[in-house]
Amino acid sequence: IYVRSRSKLESLVPSVAADGRATIFQGSLQDPTLIRDCLSGATTIVATVGENENIPGVTILRDCAKAIIDALSALRASAPVPAEWTPPRLLLLSSATWNARFAAERPALVHWMIRNAFARPYSDLVQAQEMLLGVPGLVKLLLVQPSALIKEPATGCVISADFAYMAIPYEDLAEGFVQLATMPEYEKITTVGVSSAKAKNALLYVPLVLGKVIRGLPFQFVPGYWQAEYAISRRLTGIGGKSRMG
């Protein structure tokens, strides 16, 4: 497991530290030795990095793609017979917004709003995908494409090459990655949608998704808006913290 913060991982999943099956690599994506050691011998790679906020300068996915490409290039070059080296399978967290079949189910205005509300992280994602698709000799890519990621209890994961419902909880997304990584029927596909079973009823999630979209649009079109919101949020958090302490 590669993480930027081991302490954060262990606070979220305390049992991982005591799990003898897991080796944790902590550090920067810009550390080539660390990433190479992490990926050495891997037959399946699951990459779930990304940014949820529509802020300028997002490069986390491109940084991740470059780190993976550089590490696998080095590992292939160091193999006893580089020409016989087997590319690992990479499951990359993508987005249903960038699957033409899935997006066609949305009204055109809604699709435009979603693309612009998250334009900057989407741009990072698209460029990262292009980087990884450009090296088929290094990696076999599967794009895992959910719609909105939400925090709520799991209701069961739905996997389909034909559609992606409006939302999916993080726990259902995790279950989807497990199935895609371990079940042989998914080995040869290149794009797939993952959804929550509950999200078949799209009306349940319209207010939540619409709220995220409406918040993201000023980040894209109003200069300085995101800095102002962040500053106000920090200020209010500080005031709330002082009140609770008092």
Residue 220: its pLDDT value, please?
Answer: 96
Over residues 156-209, the pLDDT tens digits come to 999 999 999 999 999 999 999 999 999 999 999 999 999 999 999 999 999 999
Chain centroid to CA 45: how far? 13
Average pLDDT, the chain: 93
Residues of the chain with pLDDT under 50: 243-246
Please give the model's pTM, rounded to 2 decimal places: 0.92
What does the alpha-carbon distance between residue 181 and residue 91 come to, in Å, rounded to a whole number?
8
Task: Quote the strand ranges of 133-239, DSSP E.
Answer: 140-145, 148-150, 157-160, 167-169, 191-196
β-sheet bridge partners, residue 168: 149
How far is 196 from 158, CA to CA, in rounded Å? 6
